[in-house]
Structure 1
Amino acid sequence: MTTYIMLINWTEQGVKNVRESPKRLDAAKKQLGEMGGSFKEFYLTMGDYDMVAVCDAPDDAVAARFALSLGSGGNVRTRTLKAFPEAAYREIINSLG
């Protein structure tokens, strides 16, 4: 399972319907679960992004499909970062020679 960090902003439509946001989050969690992934953490944030989610997905294709599906609803826009855990980070750095 690969970890992805999703930086999320509401669109104008999404913020107009902000009271429905918890229901949309529940639907997103269910959808990602059906795709073989899961939400590890979710935060409402202040600053450049409205929300941050830490998710696991089986592969990049699933993560991409999930992000596209979220965006197609018109309520949010996402930026997705593939995250390498510390062990992988150390392995990558050590492979530099």
Structure 2
Amino acid sequence: MARFLFTATYTVEGISGLMKEGGARRAEVIQALVENTGGRLESFDFALGPYDVYVICDLPDQQTAVALAATIRAAGGLDTRINPLLTPQDMDEALRLKVAYRPPGA
């Protein structure tokens, strides 16, 4: 399983639907959606700022994350983005990889 951060901003239609259904109901819908793909919802939070919603979840793979984001976005209520998340151990492993690179002008 891989962890992902979904950020989303409501469209006019989406915020109208949120006002009708309420925040708790939308969180239940997203939890069911994630679980139906074989994933696990870690957190669902509404926010004030550049994004309206932050969701962290474990999903089977990147393809599942893309499918979820595309399906949600295509429905028209949210503008959704995906960010894969790395554990500290993932970061350590990546930093141990040796990469040959020549910067511009070197």
Q: TM-score, normalized by length of structure 2?
A: 0.83
Partner of 1:2: 2
Instruction: Say if 2:53 is the partner of 1:51.
Output: yes
Aligned to 1:80: 82
Q: Which has the larger radius of gyration?
A: 2
Alignment partners' CA distance in 1, 2:87 and 2:47 = 22
Per-residue deviation, residues 42-77 of structure 1 (Å, max 9, x unmatched): 111111001111111000011111111211222111
Moved more, 35-44 or 23-32: 23-32
| Cα RMSD (Å) | 1.4
Which consecutive unaligned segments of at least 5 residues does structure 2 have? 100-106
* Cα distance change on mapping 1:24 and 1:72 into 2, 3 Å: farther
In 1: Cα distance, 2:17 partner to 2:9 partner: 13
- State how many pairs are aligned: 97
One of 33, 37, 48 as aligned partner of 1:35: 37
> What one-letter code is carried by the residue in structure 1 that aligns with 2:87?
P
Structure 1 runs of 4+ off > 2 angstroms? 21-25
Equivalent residue number for residue 102 of structure 2: none
